[in-house]
Chains A and B, each alone.
Chain A
Amino acid sequence: MQNHRTFGPRGLVFLAVLLAAAALVPASSLLTPAGSALHLSTYAVTLVGKYLCYALLALSLDLVWGYCGILCLGQGAFFALGGYAMGMYLMRQIGARGSYANPDLPDFMVFLNYHSLPWTWWGFSSFPYAVLMALAVPGALALVFGYFAFRSRVTGVYLSIITQALTYALLLAFFRNEMGFGGNNGLTDFKDILGHDVRSDGTRAALFATSCVALALGYVVAAAVTGSKFGQVTVAIRDAESRVRFLGYRVEHYKTLVFTLSAMMAGMAGALYVPQVGIINPGEFAPANSIEAVIWVAVGGRGTLVGAALGAVLVNWGKTYFTGAFPEYWLFLLGGLFVLVTLFLPQGILGLVDRLTARRRPGPPAERPVAPEEQVLPRPVAE
Chain B
Amino acid sequence: MPRTAIVAALLALLCAAAAPAHAAPVDDALAHFTADKFPETDRGIDELVASGAPTAPAVLGALGDGRLLFDPGSHRVYYAEASGALDDAATGARADGVAQGALKKVRLNNGIRSKLAAALGGLDLLSPDRAKRLAAADTAFHTPDPKSLAAIDAALGRETDPAAKAALLQARAAVVATSGAGPEADRLGAIATLTARGDGDALNYVNQAAAAPDASPAVKNAASAAASSIRFTLSLWQALQNAWYGLSLGSVLLLAAIGLAITFGVMGVINMAHGEMVMIGAYTTYLLQDLVAAHAPAWSEASLPIAVPAAFLVAGAIGVGIERTVIRFLYGRPLETLLATWGVSLILQQAVRTAFGPDNRPVSAPRFMAGSFHLGGLEITAGRMWIVVFTLAVFAALQVVLRATPFGLRMRAVTQNRRMASAMGISTGRIDALAFGLGSGIAGIAGVALSQIDNVSPNLGQSYIIDSFMVVVFGGVGNLWGTLVAALGLGIADKFLEPFAGAVLAKIAILVFIVLFIQKRPRGLFALKGRAVEA
Contact = CB atoms under 8 A, between A and B. Distances in A.
Interface of A: 71, 145, 148-149, 151-158, 160-162, 164-166, 168-169, 172-173, 175-176, 287-288, 291, 294-295, 298, 328-329, 331-332, 334-339, 341-343, 346, 373-374, 376-383
A175 B503 CA distance: 12
A180 to B, nearest CB: 14
B534 to A, nearest CB: 7
B508 A298 contact: no
A256 to B, nearest CB: 13
A207 to B, nearest CB: 31
B346 A335 contact: yes
Contacts of B347: 331-332, 335-336, 339
Interface string B474-489: 0001111100000000
Given A376-B332, A380-B528, A152 B339 contact: no
Interface stretch (B27-35, B53-61, B116-124, B511-519): B511-519
Contact of A161 (B412, B469, B480): B469
A32 to B, nearest CB: 40
A158 B473 contact: yes
Q: How large is the interface on B (under 10, 10 to 19, 20 to 34, 35 or more residues)?
A: 35 or more
Nearest to A291: B342
A331 B508 contact: no
A157 B270 contact: yes
A381 B344 contact: no
With most chain B CB atoms within 10 A of its CB, the pick from A157, A373, A380 is A380
Contacts of B335: 71, 156-157, 160, 374
Interface in B450-472: 462, 466, 469-470
A154 to B, nearest CB: 5
A355 B419 CA distance: 33
Contact of B350 (A154, A158, A335, A373): A335
Nearest to B505: A176
Given A165-B470, A383-B480, A294 B339 contact: yes
B332 A154 contact: no
B43 interface: no
B423 interface: no
A294 B346 CA distance: 15
28 contacts: A152-B520, A152-B522, A158-B473, A158-B522, A161-B469, A161-B473, A168-B466, A169-B511, A172-B504, A291-B272, A328-B350, A332-B350, A336-B343, A337-B343, A338-B340, A338-B344, A339-B340, A373-B332, A373-B333, A376-B334, A377-B334, A377-B535, A380-B265, A380-B478, A380-B533, A381-B528, A382-B478, A382-B480
Contacts of A175: 504
Interface string B310-348: 000000000000000010011011111111101111111
A65 B483 CA distance: 29
B402 interface: yes
Contact of B344 (A168, A172, A291, A339): A339
B251 interface: no
A152 B519 contact: yes
B518 A342 contact: no
Given A176-B505, A346-B336, A381-B416, A331 B346 contact: yes
Contacts of A153: 522
Given A158-B473, A342-B336, A382-B266, A335 B354 contact: no
Contact of A382 (B402, B504, B534): B402
Nearest to B535: A378
The 7 closest A-B pairs by CB, nearest first: A338-B343, A335-B346, A380-B478, A335-B347, A331-B350, A378-B535, A169-B511
Contacts of B329: 343
B349 A149 contact: no
Contact of A148 (B466, B479, B519): B519
Contacts of A152: 518-520, 522
A45 B534 CA distance: 51
Query: Chain B contact residues: over half helix, strand or loop, or mixed?
Result: helix
A154 B344 contact: no
Nearest to B479: A383
B532 interface: yes
B137 interface: no
Given A172-B508, A338-B339, A373-B333, A378 B532 contact: yes
Contacts of B100: none
A343 B416 contact: no
A114 to B, nearest CB: 19
B134 interface: no
Given A332-B350, A339-B326, A154 B466 contact: no
A160 B265 CA distance: 15
A374 B354 contact: no
A165 B346 contact: no
Nearest to B411: A382
Interface of B: 265-268, 270, 272, 326, 329-330, 332-340, 342-351, 353-354, 402, 411-412, 415-416, 418, 462, 466, 469-470, 473, 477-481, 504-505, 507-508, 511-512, 514-516, 518-520, 522, 528, 530, 532-535
A151 B516 CA distance: 12
Contacts of B350: 328-329, 331-332, 335
A335 B349 CA distance: 10
Contacts of B349: 331
A137 to B, nearest CB: 17
B147 to A, nearest CB: 44
Given A172-B507, A381-B478, A335 B415 contact: no
Contacts of B332: 373, 376-377
Contact of B338 (A155, A157, A328): A157
Contacts of B412: 381-382
Contacts of A331: 346-347, 349-350, 353
A11 to B, nearest CB: 26
Contact of B345 (A149, A158, A335): A335
A189 B78 CA distance: 68
A301 to B, nearest CB: 14
B274 to A, nearest CB: 13
Given A162-B514, A168-B466, A172-B508, A338 B346 contact: yes
Contact of B330 (A298, A329, A335, A343): A343
A155 B522 CA distance: 9
B415 A383 contact: no
Contacts of B535: 376-379
Given A287-B466, A335-B345, A338-B343, A381 B480 contact: no
Nearest to B462: A288
A164 B415 contact: no
A335 B514 contact: no
Contacts of A160: 270, 335, 338
Contacts of A155: 522
Nearest to A295: B339
A155 B477 CA distance: 14
A169 B416 CA distance: 35
Given A165-B466, A342-B330, A343-B326, A334 B339 contact: no
Contact of A154 (B337, B462, B518): B518
With most chain A CB atoms within 10 A of its CB, the pick from B265, B338, B344, B353 is B338
A148 B518 CA distance: 10
Given A157-B338, A176-B504, A331-B347, 12 more contacts: A152-B520, A153-B522, A161-B473, A166-B515, A291-B339, A295-B343, A329-B350, A339-B326, A379-B267, A379-B532, A381-B415, A382-B411
A257 B268 CA distance: 29
